[in-house]
Amino acid sequence: QQQVKQSPQSLIVQKGGIPIINCAYENTAFDYFPWYQQFPGKGPALLIAIRPDVSEKKEGRFTISFNKSAKQFSLHIMDSQPGDSATYFCAASMSDYKLSFGAGTTVTVRA
Amino acid sequence: KAGVTQTPRYLIKTRGQQVTLSCSPISGHRSVSWYQQTPGQGLQFLFEYFSETQRNKGNFPGRFSGRQFSNSRSEMNVSTLELGDSALYLCASSPEPQGAGGYTFGSGTRLTVV
């Protein structure tokens, strides 16, 4: 049973576009929500993370929006570049420290 | 600063055999977690170690085991390999569990069971 539901499975945008990836969770005990980026042949790399007391966080061109009441959070990639083409995973964890990952979204940014 | 190092990068084993995978965390990191990544099941948590103690375990059969040494290096072992164990096994380290810096993943060990 997937504790974090991620959509869409894949998306294609033009350079400069804003891909948006959405995640939803049920367990209100989750208190840490990271996003990871993975390139082929590599392990996931932490992009940005948020805690539920914050509604938005920006790091460079990456923004997380968090809606605690709806139990949803999303990743926006501003001014996307071909180098951003990768698989993105949302995740959530609580005090037991294990990360529950979404299924992943493959983002393709066309030049 | 060296990243998380996993060895070997690739491994081919036969059903019924056992395998040991190794992970060297970033220097100073005391928390090591293991994950299995497959196309069908995605990323699934195996176990987490902190200061040589297993703190948490995922929903995997007892054939999957791990340990952590005093220098924080970790190994995981899979006994009686099955075809379904073919996967990318990822190790992640953190200064402390769920630290502010998050977990840093290695590039993984690609295990193929034939």
* Contact flag B43-A89 (C-beta cutoff 8 Å): yes
* Contact flag A97-B105 (C-beta cutoff 8 Å): no
Residues of chain A neighbouring B38 (CB-CB closer than 8 A): none
Residues of chain A neighbouring B56 (CB-CB closer than 8 A): 96-98
* Contact flag A97-B42 (C-beta cutoff 8 Å): no
Residue B99 has pLDDT above 60, yes or no: no
A45-94: pLDDT as tens digits: 999 999 989 999 999 999 999 999 999 999 999 999 999 999 999 999 88
Residue B38 has pLDDT above 90, yes or no: yes
> Residue B96: its pLDDT value, please?
77
* Contact flag A104-B48 (C-beta cutoff 8 Å): no
The secondary structure of chain B as a DSSP string is ----EEE-SEEEE-TT--EEEEEEPPTT--EEEEEEEETTTEEEEEEEEETTEEEEE-S--TTEEEEE-TTS-EEEEE-S--GGG-EEEEEEEESSTT-TT--EE---EEEEE-
A83-105: pLDDT as tens digits: 999 999 999 988 667 889 999 99
